[in-house]
């Protein structure tokens, strides 16, 4: 397996534009997580899914953020409209949840909103 795949790796957009980040989890994993990482706040959990169903979205900062998982092999995180304070690295991770398993992270999407 190629691991968790995120796209794009880098995104620069203007304030007010819509941004869509994409994630392909590892095949067979039943949990998918979206994290945001900044120097100030560290690694924050935004939302996670179990079997394509959102379990906890309490970390989503505002209504401008939305996430979907239409099937087991694809998820999106959308920001509309984007703001400069959304600039961060966004990570997707997946996990097969059994006793004592680890999470696998993608390489992240570095988002810059100007």
Partner 1 sequence: SQQGEEDPQALSIQEGENATMNCSYKTSINNLQWYRQNSGRGLVHLILIRSNEREKHSGRLRVTLDTSKKSSSLLITASRAADTASYFCATDAEGSQGNLIFGKGTKLSVKP
| Residue placing its CB nearer to partner 1 in the complex, 72 or 81 | 72
57: Cβ–Cβ under 8 A, 6 or more apart, which residues?
Answer: 46, 47, 67
Q: How far is CA 94 from CA 2, 20, 75, in A?
A: 13, 19, 11
Q: Is 114 exposed, middle or buried (0-12, 13-18, 19+ CB in 10 A)?
A: exposed
Extract the tokens encoding 40: 């100030």
By CB under 8 A, name the binding residues for partner 1. 4, 30-31, 33, 35, 42-43, 45, 48, 50, 55-56, 91, 93, 95, 97, 99-100, 102-108, 110
User: In the complex, what is the shortest distance from the CB of residue 89 to partner 1, in angstroms, rounded to a whole number?
Assistant: 8
Q: Nearest distance from residue 79's CB to partner 1, in Å?
A: 20
- Name the residue nearer to partner 1 (CB basis): 27 or 101: 101
Minimum gap (Å) between residue 81 Cβ and partner 1: 27
């Amino acid at each position: 397996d190629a691991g968790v795949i995120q796209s794009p790796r880098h995104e620069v957009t203007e304030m007010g534009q819509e941004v869509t980040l994409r994630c392909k989890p590892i095949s067979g994993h039943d949990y998918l997580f979206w994290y945001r990482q900044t120097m100030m706040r560290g690694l924050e959990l935004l939302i996670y899914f179990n079997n394509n169903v959102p379990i906890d979205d309490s970390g989503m900062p505002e209504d401008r953020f939305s996430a979907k998982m239409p099937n087991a092999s694809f998820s999106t995180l959308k920001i509309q409209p984007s703001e400069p304070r959304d600039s961060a690295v966004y990570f997707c991770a997946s996990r097969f949840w059994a006793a004592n398993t680890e999470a696998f992270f993608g390489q992240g999407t570095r988002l810059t909103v100007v």
